[in-house]
Chains A and B, each alone.
Chain A
Amino acid sequence: MTPGQYYLKETRREFLKYTGTGIGALGLASALNNNLYASSSADPMALLKPHFLPKAKNVIYIHLVGGPSHLELFDHKPELIKRDGQKCPDHMFKGKQLAFIRDHPTLLGTRFKYNKYGQGGLELSEHLPLMGKIADHLAVVKTVRTEQFNHAPAQLFLHTGFERFGRPGIGSWISYGLGSENRDLPSYVVLITGSVAGAGNSLWGSGFLPTLHQGVEFRSQGDPVLFLSNPKGISARNRRDIISGINFLNETALADVGDPEIATRIAQYELAYRMQASVPELMSINSETSSTLEAYGAKPGNKSFANNCLLARRLVERGVRFVQLFDQGWDHHSGLFDSIPKKANQLDRPVAALIADLRERGLLDETLIVIGAEFGRTPMLQGLSNNRAANNVGRDHHKEAYSMVFAGGGIRGGMSYGETDELGYQAVESPVHVHDINATILHQLGLNHERLTYKYQGRKFRLTDVHGEVVNGILT
């Protein structure tokens, strides 16, 4: 033990003794104490106790960016098909705010068939046959309502409970509330296919929470984590020497000035070094069996949603608490009936494989899977009403009611929840607000959304503001 190492140990002990901020006393407890820099020395990522016994430990949250049509995928509306081409009733248009539609639109029935799947007889689109096979694990909530009808504000609203910038997203809240299960990876990881969603990196930013809780994007191009690989001409051995050098000099400084923050920094350099090996290993799916790869439709080296689903499993296996997948390309203002089969096909296999795979590995019970979007689509046609060619018609943004899918961690499968009216416009039974969705996700992790607060600018903030009720109907 070098003198520095000895001092490091001593200082940490002293510090913890006198500040009373031992491991585990932070996070929730520090909601009362906004003192970030003092707490950062005492491990704010330490594992924390939830409010009550959780049903799930991890979340895989799939955001279908753009807002897929619930009417083509999850919410079967025969009456809408029957009235295809008729002018929509006044209450669906007059006095309503719509993003694109300006003239009184006509109704648009789906041109896809629905099938009943599993013992629960859950109805799903013909384009989701493999998800149909695991339908008894799925709960489809058909009556989700949001308050925003433009992409970026609606995306912010879905994840942060607020339509403008500055608030933390649900992943950050969970990281803040529960700490990290693992010491070598971030607690909150983001995977993206396609371009970044409209609201940008702020969707996984930590808002006013400490930035430790922000999502870290694992990229499928370039370094999987920014700045992970050494510059050319610096080998792993050189890197080890350099980090040892940094830490030796930092230990010397620690012995001189006694600041426990230096001890933390030494530990972070060691962790960075470990991440240089552990992250590429994690991101390489070469070690997966060919049957697993095939089940997901994943291919080593691909940038695909299928690969990301497989990576999501690898992440939760390693104790990453919150994995968020963003998949671009669901904003079907036109070409609806051409695009939905293609996108549904990209979604169907990997999601079905992910759920089956988690189950086989005994991880499904402790992993909550959420498939959602910022909003749904109008039952009304967007486009010229006299040109109803499949490649022409589309649907506008719709905030009144849309569907989200849940599976795993404490979710009752094989069911749908809530009913929309016969045209799929708004809820007529069991309406669910985006705040309720967020309250439910927190609930499954053992967090009471009314108690998970952070004091900032003289107010205690919550993810669900003053709203939110747990959707008990989909829970076991």
Chain B
Amino acid sequence: MGFLPCYWVVGSDSPASHWAYVSPERPKFPRLNDVNPIDHFITERLNKSGMRLSRLADPEKQLRRVYLDLIGRPPQPDESQSFLSSPTDLEYNSIVDRLLASPQYGEKWARRWLDLARYADSNGFQADQLRDSWAYRDWVIEAFNSGMPLDKFTVEQLAGDLLPKSTVSQKIATGFHRTPTCNVEAGVHPESNRINQVIDRVNTTGTVFLGTTFECAQCHDHKYDPISMKEYYQLFAFFNNTPLEVRNTSGVTWDFYGPKLDLPLSPLKLGKMNSLKDEMKACELEKKSIKRSLGVEQKEWENEILDELKNAPKWEVFDVGEFSATGGSSYTVKQDQSVLVHGENPDSSTYSIIIKDSNLDRISSVRLEALLDVSMKKNGPGRNFGVPENPNFVLNEFSLKVDGRKVIFSDAKASFSQKKFDVLGAIDNDVKSGWAVNPQFGKAHQAVFTLKQDLLLEKGSRLEFKLVQHHGGGRTIGRLRLSGIEGDYSKVNLPTEIQSILLMDNRNDAQVNELAGYYASMHPRLKELESRLADLKKKLDDIDPETTLIMSEMNKPRETKVMMRGDYLTLGDKVSPGTPAALHVFDDSLPKNRLGLAQWLVDPENPLTSRVFVNRWWSAFMGRGIVETQEDFGSQGEIPSHPELLDWLAIELVQKGWSMKHIHKLIVTSHTYRQSSIITKSHLKKDPANRLYARAPRVRMSAEMIRDSALATSGLLETKMFGPPVYPPQPEGIWRHVGRNAPKFLPAENENRFRRAVYVVWRRGAPYASFVNFDAPDRGACVVDRPRTNTPLQALTLLNDQAFVEMGLAFAARILQEPGLVNDEQRIQFAFRVALARSAKQVEVDYLKVLLIKRKNELIKSPKAIDALLSEAKWVPFKTSNPEGIAKWFTVANILLNLDEAITKG
């Protein structure tokens, strides 16, 4: 491993005096009445280039822009009324306050933070199994909504677990650094996994909080930024004390593991849990009372059954004449005439048992017992080595020849048959089917095979049983015994042991217990209670508290050494936790652990963190950062376009209690933000890339904003917040990873289908398909800024993705259901207000009216298209009283949802 050095760029300053490593000072500016400081700095720079700010954008544009930026969806017609009728600053400000207080604000802003935090719902790599960490996602939403100060926000995520008396919420926050990928494919080496995760934590911390790339220093001293290799591993030491995050399950197989926190149960779940517990208690009580009276009942039963037993036919155990097993196993014939098979355990084996002299002279049924023995896992009854914890057998064929003639069986009954492995499969002459007993292990089993016709035996008759067991994996019977019976065996169909205990005159304690246990197990009400209890227990288990991944420090810290060339197998000098010397001082009073590191990051002396935060927000609102290389404030990054503005905002953030909402409000109430985005020829000539902000930017929305906006437009948006990830529809076959326990994607058929994008499941190996087409990353690593592309695949997504087709259909239904609209022109106007937050121009109305007539005529000609189109909505709660109307208006809905304007913040 090694890293590509960055080339020296002519004109870049030397590391020591690099602007970003010098603490910001609040720039002075003449205080003008009512001038937003942002506008002051922007105007000053524009004036130098002979440009000026544009006029304010149309009120409807301003409104849509600020809705999209603050809560991630366009305003609905009833929300725009007040501002459009009186577009004053006062009214605008009150809308801003309302949006900043909306719970949807946190949902909108969480997305960017989750990209930085590389939050996902899966491990990444082979199989890419799901993990539960969504409580952390919810924590971020909640933190933004509640206006948590950013210093606190930083400390809790990096070291919430180390705060004195840390709360559940502070622990959940540490999920920030439990997001790195983890490879659990068989044969992985856990230490290399762990090192990769720590490296990820160091690098991500640098990028997110310092806008600095530490990565280069992993293998050599940083060439351009003041971080030495030793300093890299000093940072590494802060993160090197958390436990391993994989657990060895068997052999070379590993599971994702690591510290987890039980989440508090919701009141609903608590209630459910208590009522289940109550019912269990009642069942237990009844069980006890039945058992108390059981003794008397059992005595009566014993007397009755003994009577029957005396007259009933009896099973006669066959004496084993010869035994053989293919595949080389050994065997022992025990005193009870059972055959114990041991030694070699071949993949498959056929047993043959020859009986030379039977005491019976007439046989109606034969019985095969699969008995227990200590030589098998869980005592058997199978020898299975393939899955040793499941000692199963599969008896594919059971046959009997008497003196060379094949005997025909008419029926077979077993003490228990595994699902899809019924005992009848052993006598159906089909070698593929067979009898097996999973999951009833540790228990003897028996099968009785009834002959079609009673068999008359002569003296010296030779019975030859054959047991074909070729399922594979050594799934063969470990100890077996054969018996025969004359007459109807079902009259007294008791297990042999029970039968013999019953017939005893003196029983020891074990036998008494066994008999009582057997009787109890046959009691109908007890049986019912047992199964109910099992059911309740399962339900109770299912409401186990949900969990989330957290950081936790080991009692004894690990020793950290420099890794030569970044290789964890080649270690150098020992280092202790520390921060780079070129940055502000790590105060002696701070603990030398993650908590100290976090507190050092939010030290007001830190020249970087506050600048990095405000710069990213500026970029989110204005389309580009003041420092364009948001991820790199180092000497190789771009220099700021408006250095004074950056420093003013950074200091303002710290002075106003690290309030994100305060800075957001400053930005969105500035003229710079509210101005028109129309591009004039003069703009293209003087500042085509809009570095100086003489106009507002036009920026394509993120994948998530596109989904949320279309959901709001369609009226389907479900505003329920928080909880486990949701599964909106996507094409089949996207999730088809190689590897064990790979999860399945089942689209939600309830309100979860229409929840906001921030809740959609994020599987790293195959993120939600439509998001990928709109530049969403796989979240395998920290992403500061997504690219914004413009591709034909995006067109296909909005045109044809089932999710968007459903939204289009619902939008069409919404247009038709809106009361008070008397003609198509009014409906089109309504649709524009809903989708684009503006009224339609006459030319637009005219065009769509013509299209609607054309569509109507087509649907008259091919009415089948109506049902076909509506059938695309697999689970949409709209009324279909007017299917023709919906099929017609879908055209308009589909067009509006696809417009550049609908997916652009302008």
Chain A residues proximal to chain B, CB less than 8 Å? 14-15, 18-19, 34-38, 40-41, 65, 97-100, 102, 147, 149-153, 164-166, 186, 194-202, 205, 210-212, 216, 219, 221-223, 225-235, 237-239, 241-243, 245-246, 248-250, 252-253, 256-259, 261-262, 264-265, 268-269, 271-272, 275-276, 328, 396-397, 453, 455-462, 465-467
Contacts and interface: CB of A to CB of B under 8 A. Distances in A.
Contacts of B196: 164
Contacts of A18: 684-685, 688
Nearest to A65: B738
21 contacts: A34-B629, A38-B688, A65-B738, A152-B183, A153-B125, A200-B766, A202-B778, A222-B733, A223-B731, A229-B800, A231-B869, A233-B870, A243-B799, A245-B848, A258-B679, A261-B900, A265-B900, A269-B898, A276-B796, A457-B207, A459-B215
Interface string B782-794: 0000011111111
Given A100-B251, A231-B869, A457-B629, 7 more contacts: A195-B742, A198-B127, A201-B778, A211-B787, A233-B864, A238-B891, A249-B844
B5 A198 contact: no
Contacts of A150: 126, 183, 185, 187-189
Interface string B870-906: 1110000000000000010001001100111100101
A195 B736 contact: yes
Given A233-B866, A241-B854, A164 B899 contact: no
Contact of A99 (B188, B200, B699, B790): B188
Closest A-B pairs by Cβ, 5 of them: A200-B765, A165-B780, A99-B187, A233-B869, A198-B126
Contacts of A151: 126, 185, 738
Contacts of A228: 796, 800
B484 interface: no
B681 interface: yes
A195 B869 CA distance: 32
A274 B885 CA distance: 29
Nearest to B901: A253
Contact of A242 (B225, B796, B894): B894
A37 B623 contact: yes
Contact of B678 (A165, A231, A258): A258
A249 B787 CA distance: 26
Given A34-B629, A226-B793, A166 B737 contact: no
Interface string B216-254: 100000001100000000000000000000000001100
B636 A458 contact: yes
A460 B764 contact: no
Nearest to B764: A200
A226 B773 contact: yes
A20 to B, nearest CB: 9
A259 B696 CA distance: 12
Contacts of B252: 99-100, 102
Contact of A467 (B2, B680, B780): B2
Interface in B654-692: 677-681, 684-685, 688-689
Given A164-B781, A201-B765, A222 B732 contact: yes
Contacts of B738: 65, 151, 194-198, 328
B77 interface: no
A151 B851 CA distance: 54
Contact of B868 (A164, A233, A241, A462): A233
Given A272-B796, A458-B224, A232 B871 contact: yes
Contacts of A257: 677-679, 698, 906
B895 A246 contact: yes
A223 B797 CA distance: 12
A258 B685 CA distance: 13
Given A37-B623, A238-B891, A225 B681 contact: no
Contact of B899 (A34, A40, A200, A249): A249
A260 to B, nearest CB: 8
B775 interface: yes
Contact of B780 (A166, A243, A460): A166
Contacts of B791: 211-212, 268
B73 interface: no
Contacts, number: 302
Interface in B167-220: 181, 183, 185-189, 196, 200, 207, 213, 215-216
* Most chain A Cβ neighbours within 10 Å, of B793, B805, B847: B793
* Most chain B Cβ neighbours within 10 Å, of A201, A231, A272: A231
Contacts of B216: 459
Contacts of A223: 731
Given A99-B186, A164-B196, A15 B793 contact: no
Interface in B251-310: 251-252
A99 B186 CA distance: 7
Given A226-B797, A246-B898, A246-B899, A458 B790 contact: no
B518 interface: no
B160 interface: no
Contacts of A147: 1
A329 to B, nearest CB: 9
A230 to B, nearest CB: 6
Contacts of B631: 456-458
Contact of A235 (B128, B739, B865, B894): B865
Contacts of A221: 732-733
Given A222-B732, A458-B213, A232 B869 contact: yes
B90 interface: no
Interface string B722-756: 00000000011100111100100000000000000
Given A249-B847, A261-B698, A227 B799 contact: yes
Contacts of B700: 37, 261
A222 B700 CA distance: 29
B801 interface: yes
A154 to B, nearest CB: 10
A256 B765 CA distance: 42
A258 B679 CA distance: 5
Contacts of A149: 187
Contacts of A265: 790, 795, 900
Contacts of A98: 187
A104 to B, nearest CB: 16
A114 to B, nearest CB: 29
* Most chain B Cβ neighbours within 10 Å, of A41, A195, A328: A195
A457 B632 contact: yes
B865 to A, nearest CB: 4
A187 B767 CA distance: 22
B858 interface: yes
B607 interface: no
Nearest to B219: A466
Contacts of B6: 455, 458-460
B832 to A, nearest CB: 10
Nearest to A461: B4
B790 A264 contact: yes
A139 to B, nearest CB: 28
A226 B778 contact: no
A195 B738 CA distance: 5
B181 A165 contact: yes
Contacts of B187: 98-100, 149-150, 396-397
A249 B841 CA distance: 10
A241 B841 CA distance: 20
A36 B737 contact: no
Contacts of A202: 764-765, 778, 780
A245 B4 contact: no
Contact of B7 (A237, A250, A460): A460
A195 B764 CA distance: 16
Contacts of A271: 792, 795
B478 interface: no
A234 to B, nearest CB: 6
B225 A262 contact: no
B642 interface: no
A319 B765 CA distance: 28
B721 interface: no
